[in-house]
């Protein structure tokens, strides 16, 4: 009789788990989102403008297509970004033309729907990449036997340099949340006190692809790895750090924190909140072909 009672209770609990709960969320204020990651390479520079959308809306966020967008420098130059569709505004340089040199200060101005949005940033310095190395690993319980890579570069002397290290595998940017690789001086954050040294091993080693199970993927002979170090502002570093933590939040289980919009360094003349970031980067890069 007791066993039948346990079965009855189990069936009741199982069926009760099938109840659907409809959650009604307030849509909230529509906010401008600025995606303005520029660099001083002789390449087309793009800024994307969009607005926020309801959390459960599966459609692409609405594009802002009626804005006037300019970037000006403290050297007296103004760069007009023209709309090409879908909220993307671009500036195309002439031969050998760039946004400027390291140490230049920039101001972003956006005028949309009667509101002026502004931001400022500085083109910061970036260290060179000395080399990309490969090593055959056969005795690591956390990695399959095979070839793995790391890069060697030394943080520039002087506190407060921040970087975004990007890895491209056979031309494809590794962009999983786990693969976001940012550094404050040669370490993870401002409290590391690792100024002017070679980047610490976890940052150097995060040049290997990570699979869906969180394991590093070995390289195959003949594959190409390209590494870029982008100089970013301290504000951009904080933006990336919070954004990465938000993206990885779901893997924290019961310790996950409520999601929130990540504020950046753009402001409006009417006091409304603006999301996104404006940064102009210097880039150093290196390429290596994996050998036997």
The CA distance from 292 to 290, in Å, is 7
Highest mean pLDDT among 90-104, 186-200, 248-262: 90-104
- Is the pLDDT at 22 greater than 70? The verdict is no
- Burial class of residue 32, CB neighbours in 10 A (0-12, 13-18, 19+): buried
- Is the pLDDT at 219 greater than 50? The verdict is yes
The CA distance from 292 to 135, in Å, is 10
3-state secondary structure of 119: strand
Read off the pLDDT of each residue in 221-242 and give the average, rounded to a whole number.
97
**Closest Cα partner for 285 from 169, 96, 126, 95?**
126
Looking at residue 119, what is its pLDDT? 98
Structure tokens at 216: 């590093």
Q: Which residue has the higher pLDDT, 93 or 190?
A: 93
The CA distance from 72 to 278, in Å, is 13
Q: Label residue 250 by pLDDT band (50, 70, 90).
A: low
Q: Label residue 54 by pLDDT band (50, 70, 90).
A: confident
The CA distance from 111 to 186, in Å, is 38
Looking at residue 43, what is its pLDDT? 97
Looking at residue 249, what is its pLDDT? 77
Q: Residue 49 half-sphere exposure, CB side, CA atoms within 13 Å?
A: 26
Residue 98 phi, psi (nearest 5): -135, 175
User: Residue 246 — left, alpha, or beta (φ > 0 → left; ψ -120 to 50 → alpha)?
Assistant: alpha
Q: Label residue 1 by pLDDT band (50, 70, 90).
A: very low
At 101-135, the pLDDT tens digits run 999 999 999 999 999 999 999 999 999 999 999 99
**Closest Cα partner for 97 from 44, 36, 48?**
44
Looking at residue 257, what is its pLDDT? 62
Looking at residue 53, what is its pLDDT? 80
At 256-280, the pLDDT tens digits run 566 667 789 999 999 999 999 999 9
Cβ count near 176 (within 10 Å): 13
Domains and CATH numbers, the chain: 32-122 (2.60.40), 129-260+282-289 (no CATH)
Q: Residue 50 half-sphere exposure, CB side, CA atoms within 13 Å?
A: 14
| Residue that the structure tokens 């890895």 belong to | 167
Looking at residue 3, what is its pLDDT? 45
When mean pLDDT is compared across 59-68, 80-89, 265-274, the lowest value belongs to 59-68
Q: Is 221 within 8 Å of 288 (Cβ atoms)?
A: no
Q: Which residue has the higher pLDDT, 16 or 241?
A: 241
The contacts found for 205-210 with CB under 8 angstroms, 24 or more apart, are 205/148, 205/149, 205/150, 206/165, 206/167, 206/179, 206/181, 207/132, 207/149, 207/150, 207/151, 207/165, 207/167, 207/181, 208/148, 208/149, 208/167, 209/169, 209/174, 209/179, 210/174, 210/176, 210/178, 210/179
The CA distance from 64 to 276, in Å, is 14
Give every CB contact of residue 1 below 8 A, 6+ residues apart in sequence.
none
């Amino acid at each position: 009789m007791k066993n039948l009672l346990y079965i009855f209770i189990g069936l009741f609990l199982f069926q009760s788990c099938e109840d659907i709960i409809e959650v009604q969320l307030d849509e909230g204020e529509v906010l401008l989102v600025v995606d303005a990651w520029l660099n001083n390479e002789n390449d087309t520079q793009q800024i994307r403008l969009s607005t926020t959308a309801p959390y459960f809306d599966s459609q692409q966020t609405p594009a802002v297509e009626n804005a006037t967008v300019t970037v000006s420098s403290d050297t007296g130059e103004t760069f007009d970004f023209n709309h090409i569709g879908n909220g993307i505004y671009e500036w195309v340089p002439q031969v050998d033309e760039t946004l400027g040199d390291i140490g230049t200060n920039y101001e972003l101005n956006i005028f949309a729907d009667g509101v002026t949005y502004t931001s400022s940033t500085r083109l910061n310095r970036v260290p060179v990449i000395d080399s990309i190395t490969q090593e055959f690993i056969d005795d690591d319980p956390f990695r399959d036997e095979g070839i793995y890579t790391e890069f060697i570069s030394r943080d520039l002397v002087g506190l407060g340099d921040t970087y975004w290290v990007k890895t491209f595998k056979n031309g494809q940017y590794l962009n999983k949340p786990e693969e976001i690789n940012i550094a404050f001086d040669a370490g993870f954050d401002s409290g590391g006190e690792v100024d002017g040294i070679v980047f610490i091993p976890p940052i150097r080693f995060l040049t290997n692809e990570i699979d869906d199970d969180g394991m590093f993927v070995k390289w195959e002979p003949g594959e190409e790895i390209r590494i870029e170090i982008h100089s970013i502002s301290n504000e951009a570093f904080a933006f990336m750090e919070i954004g990465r933590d938000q993206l990885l939040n779901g893997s924290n289980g019961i310790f996950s924190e409520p999601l929130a919009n990540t504020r950046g360094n753009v402001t409006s003349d009417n006091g409304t909140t603006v999301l996104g970031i404006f940064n102009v980067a210097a880039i150093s890069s290196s390429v290596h072909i994996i050998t036997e």
